[in-house]
Amino acid sequence: MRGARALFRNLDCAVEGGGALHLRGENGAGKTSLMQILCGLHRPETGEVRWNGMPITGGAARADYYAQLAYLGHKPALKGELTPLENLATATALSGARADANAAKDALRRMGLRDAAFGARCAALSAGQLQRVRLASLLLRPGGVWILDEPAAALDKRGVRELETLLAEQTARGGMLVFSSHQELNVHAQTLDLGDYHQ
């Protein structure tokens, strides 16, 4: 629900290991809201999100789900006063994983960020560079579940190709992927159009 308006009803979907789900819909259709529900940031009016058959709202399923989850929302969740390397180290530590400076540098290079930008404050980087930093954080959390809201935003053509490769690798290793994108991405995925669930 958004206020008194139902964004969607009777929605039922599943993603298995190695699978991808592309959320489609016009602006305001509820793609971001659905992704936030899938992440446990909001609760649905009715229904539930399940991980390995168990609701993610409590117990061992909740802890296991969040250990497997990587979420990139609309806003860059990067501290402007920190460098890309410092932001990646912070994100890795918050996820409970061990921070590895060399792995972080490799991830940034893989996503096309030049070494000269590693020590720059994120506040000084372009929107495209910031998106590359965010995507590099996924390389430090392979597998599991990736939920990505407009991951191609601000990327140039080369960046989009790198993103497509990254997403293909995620599903090839058995990870799960849920994403929205107004750009056409060359990613094998089932499509869920939220317009089909408006009433």
Kindly list the strands in the beta sheet with 190-193, ordered across the sheet, starting from the edge strand earlier in the chain. 69-72, 145-149, 176-180, 20-24, 190-193
Tell me the pLDDT tens digit for each residue of 54-69.
999 988 889 999 999 9
Identify any residues that bridge with 96 across adjacent strands, giving them in sequence order.
none
Given a cut of 80, whether residue 99 has pLDDT beyond it is: no
Using a pLDDT cut of 90, give the percent of the chain over it: 77
What pLDDT shows up at residue 199?
64
Tally of residues, the chain? 199
Confidence band for 176, pLDDT divided at 50, 70 and 90: very high
Pairing assessment for the beta strands 176-180 and 50-51 based on DSSP bridges:
unpaired
- Coil, strand or helix at 57: coil
Tell me the pLDDT tens digit for each residue of 12-33.
999 999 999 999 999 989 999 9
Q: What is the mean pLDDT of residues 128-143?
A: 93
When mean pLDDT is compared across 99-103, 127-131, 145-149, the lowest value belongs to: 99-103
Q: CA-CA distance, 155 to 131, in Å (whole number)?
A: 7
Extended beta strands in 66-144, E state: 69-72
| Chain centroid, CA 164 distance in Å | 13
